[in-house]
Amino acid sequence: MGNLWMGLFTLLQPAVLYASPLRPGALSSDGHLFAEVYLGKFYNYKPVTGRRRRAAGPDPFQAKLREMQHFFGLDESGDLDLQTVAAMRRARCGLSDAEQFRKTMRWTNRTLTYRISRYSSKITAAQVRTAFRQAWKLWAQAVPLKFRQKKRSDADIVISFNNKDHEDGSPFDGEGGILAHAFFPGPGIGGDVHFDDEEAWTTNATGHNLLAVAVHEFGHALGLPHSSDPGAIMFPAYNFGLHSVLQLSFQDVKDIQEMYGMRVLSPDRLPPKTPDKCDPTLSFDAVTGMQQELVFFKNRFIWRVHPSFEKIGITLITSLWPELPAHIDAAYENTNHNSMVVFKGSQYWEVSSLKVKHGYPRNISEFTFPSAVRSIDAALYFRETRLTDFFIGGECWRFNEDAGQMMEGFPKPIAHEWPGIDSPVDAAVAHNGWYHLWN
Ligand SMILES: [Ca+2]
Ligand SMILES: [Ca+2]
Ligand SMILES: [Ca+2]
Ligand SMILES: [Zn+2]
Ligand SMILES: [Zn+2]
């Protein structure tokens, strides 16, 4: 027990404090109430009270919780464990995840108009207009639709920034929580998009990025429901990180093209597919331990494998660590520092208690590599000796963590230090007394 759950605990917002010791299913009644409200809002959960509750068969709360856990790629335990609560605490879109996809709700015009009826108090009107123009462009690149801004007269899609109750039956909730919501295509309020004006809207990765949220909401305005693909723009939680590149995913493009037809995509704009863990050709960028879990890195994604969870959940790296880039090179767990070290190119980051430490990225020259070493293929930490092996091309470098320098005589050929292992090495990890290396 201990470290893993303490680590996850730091993911939770400071506003919610649970009694220690922390273990799954042992949350306070406040946590339970919060979850009931969340499931009510996003999964059509209706609490059963009184006599009917005892008479009912399977617990409807657990059933809805499993539905939510399935959607978020979490272990479908039906327990209100800390990973589930952390997922519920993430900033997100106000629309339900149980919304049924209805093909009839789509625009018949090929040119759609939008109007901004109320601007943000957090960023300039010019910044808002630019973000919206870029957001529409992403959709217009995939389907034969045109979007035109109107200044005064009526438009199909009216966009506004609002505070708290704004008379549509779905009041905003102040900073955090719900960021925005939208209405599916139709007359009147149909297609309209509302942003919570109390969010710290930005054009970068601080606060909440307006472009990232606008692309998602505009997807609703065109008729798309939420997607459980964590790589999709239509995934309900906010995922934008420091190094994020905004683009529609394969799933988003497929869904919108089913509604409006295709536009031929140029080869440099092919949408990225979310990797499938069952793909036999799947390789990994890096693999590391993280307390009790194993973490597999691939492109923008991670899989977390926990010994007591059946389900292997895939999420975006940025949903845990917004500061980390995609396509990392190598990672290892330094159990003596209680941290995870992540490498990309000549930079590295240290993650402790599930947070990227301040002052990173730093340069790999701090590991006393010569300047000719520009990147690392894989890294492996030996808990007992506090040594770390770095695999670079055909060579192995051995770093003494206590002394802060390379061991004498290194680098050595991988074939010499690791007989039978081919080079280059893609990923390496120590687990259950075995060393696992991937080529
Ligand atoms: Ca809000
Ligand atoms: Ca409208
Ligand atoms: Ca690698
Ligand atoms: Zn949404
Ligand atoms: Zn609204």
CATH of residue 118's domain is: 3.40.390.10
259 is in an annotated binding site: no
Distance 228 CA to ligand 5 centre (A): 23
Q: Are 203 and 70 part of one and the same domain?
A: no
Encode pLDDT of 172-223 as tens digits. Answer: 999 999 999 999 999 999 999 999 999 999 999 999 999 999 999 999 999 9
Share of the chain above pLDDT 70, in %: 90
Per-residue confidence (pLDDT) for residue 411, from 0 to 100: 96
Encode pLDDT of 123-157 as tens digits. Answer: 999 999 999 999 999 999 999 999 999 998 899 99
Within-domain flag for 146: yes
User: For ligand 5, a single-atom ion, which residues have Cβ within 5 Å?
Assistant: 168, 194
Q: How confident is residue 161, by pLDDT bands cut at 50, 70 and 90?
A: very high
Question: Considering only CA atoms, which of 262, 225, 234, 254 is closest in space to residue 141?
Answer: 262
Encode pLDDT of 27-40 as tens digits. Answer: 566 788 999 999 99
Point out the domain boundary residue: 57, 89, 121.
89
Task: Kindly state the average pLDDT of the residues 216-233.
Answer: 96
**Considering the chain, what is the average pLDDT of its residues?**
88
Per-residue confidence (pLDDT) for residue 305, from 0 to 100: 87
Task: Kindly state the average pLDDT of the residues 367-393.
Answer: 95
Distance 132 CA to ligand 3 centre (A): 37
Distance 215 CA to ligand 4 centre (A): 10
Q: Are 135 and 214 part of one and the same domain?
A: yes
Q: Are 246 and 156 part of one and the same domain?
A: yes
166 is in an annotated binding site: yes
3-state secondary structure of 35: helix
Q: Are 19 and 163 part of one and the same domain?
A: no
3-state secondary structure of 64: helix
197 is in an annotated binding site: yes
Q: Are 116 and 263 part of one and the same domain?
A: yes
Point out the domain boundary residue: 269, 300, 335.
269
Domain residues for the domain of 85 are 3-89
Ligand nearest to the CA of 96: 4
Q: Are 38 and 76 part of one and the same domain?
A: yes
379 is in an annotated binding site: yes
Question: Considering only CA atoms, which of 307, 298, 300, 334 is closest in space to residue 430?
Answer: 334
Within-domain flag for 97: no
Q: Are 255 and 354 part of one and the same domain?
A: no
User: For ligand 1, a single-atom ion, which residues have Cβ within 5 Å?
Assistant: 173, 177-178, 196
181 is in an annotated binding site: yes
Within-domain flag for 115: yes
Distance 173 CA to ligand 3 centre (A): 42
Encode pLDDT of 255-314 as tens digits. Answer: 999 999 998 877 877 899 998 877 878 889 999 999 888 999 999 999 988 887 777 788
Within-domain flag for 102: no
Q: Are 161 and 242 part of one and the same domain?
A: yes
Q: How confident is residue 17, by pLDDT bands cut at 50, 70 and 90?
A: very low
Radius of gyration of the chain (CA): 24
422 is in an annotated binding site: no
Ligand nearest to the CA of 154: 2
Q: Which two tokens stand for residue 391?
A: 């695999």
Task: Kindly state the average pLDDT of the residues 4-12.
Answer: 26
* Helix residue spans in 370-420 (DSSP H): 414-417
Q: State the Cα–Cα distance between residues 182 and 99, nearest whole angstrom.
A: 12
DSSP symbols for 315-369: EEHHHH-TTSPSS--EEEEETTTTEEEEEETTEEEEEETTEEPTT--EEGGGGT-
Q: Are 265 and 310 part of one and the same domain?
A: no
The better pLDDT of the pair 19, 79 is held by 79
Q: State the Cα–Cα distance between residues 412 and 414, nearest whole angstrom.
A: 6
Among the listed ranges 38-52, 192-206, 390-404, which one has the minimum average pLDDT value?
Answer: 38-52
pLDDT at 21 over 60: no
Within-domain flag for 64: yes
174 is in an annotated binding site: yes
Distance 224 CA to ligand 4 centre (A): 9
Q: Are 123 and 223 part of one and the same domain?
A: yes
Catalytic residues: 217
Ligand nearest to the CA of 185: 2
Point out the domain boundary residue: 269, 297, 330.
269
Q: Are 52 and 14 part of one and the same domain?
A: yes
119 close to 161: Cβ distance less than 8 angstroms: yes
Share of the chain above pLDDT 90, in %: 73
CATH number at residue 430: 2.110.10.10
Whether the upstream peptide bond of residue 280 has omega within 30° of 0, thus cis, is: no
Within-domain flag for 433: yes
Within-domain flag for 103: no
Distance 87 CA to ligand 4 centre (A): 15
Distance 182 CA to ligand 4 centre (A): 7
Ligand nearest to the CA of 218: 4
Among the listed ranges 56-60, 238-242, 284-288, which one has the minimum average pLDDT value?
Answer: 56-60
Q: Is the dihedral of CA 254, 260, 264, 268 positive or negative?
A: negative
Integer CA distances (angstroms), 165 to 10, 12, 172, 198, 297, in order: 31, 27, 6, 12, 42
pLDDT at 422 over 80: yes
Within-domain flag for 105: no
CATH number at residue 40: 1.10.101.10
Q: Are 244 and 122 part of one and the same domain?
A: yes
| Number of domains the chain contains | 3
